Structure 1
């Protein structure tokens, strides 16, 4: 991972770096959106099962989970709209993994 150009950073490495450093990079946000999409799919299935069982206590609990998930997604979206995304290269530099100056000097030699 050390010393590679930014074009060679895989999505998995970018998500891993995004999880360990400050800020959110684009691949990490993409994985979070997919996770929320799958969570919404699961909650829809749970809601359908709860309605079919005619147990309205379970329906209330699933609706509470849907509300919590929706509020969390909206708040994350608004926060990232305010703050913005961080480039993966900047996160790697902050962690000391990726040193662009060293690779530039090596290329000149």
Structure 2
């Protein structure tokens, strides 16, 4: 991953860098949104099964899970709206795995 430009960084590498460094980059945020979408599908299935069972305690627990997931997603959206996304290149520089391209050109000569 050393010395690559932003075009050469794969999405998986960008997500890994985003998970290990400070800030959130765009690929990491996209993966988090997909995760929350899949979580919403699971909660929808759980809620429909809870309504079919007609047990109030199960319905209340699933509604609590839905509320917790929704609040977490809304708070993450608001936090990122205030702080903004961090470029992958900046995260790589902070971690020390991104070298300046000029030093690579000097090595090649």
TM-score (norm 1): 0.95
Within-5 A mapping of 1:14-93? 14-93=14-93
Runs of 4+ in 1 over 3 A off after TM superposition: none
Q: How far off is 1:5 after superposition? A: 1.5
Count of aligned residue pairs for this structure pair: 107
Distance (whole Å) between structure 2 residues aligned to residue 107 and residue 96 of structure 1: 19
Q: How far off is 1:104 after superposition? A: 1.7
Unmatched runs of 5 consecutive residues or more in structure 1? none
1:95 is the counterpart of 2:91? no
CA RMSD of aligned residues (A): 0.9
Unmatched runs of 5 consecutive residues or more in structure 2? none
Distance (whole Å) between structure 1 residues aligned to residue 59 and residue 95 of structure 2: 45
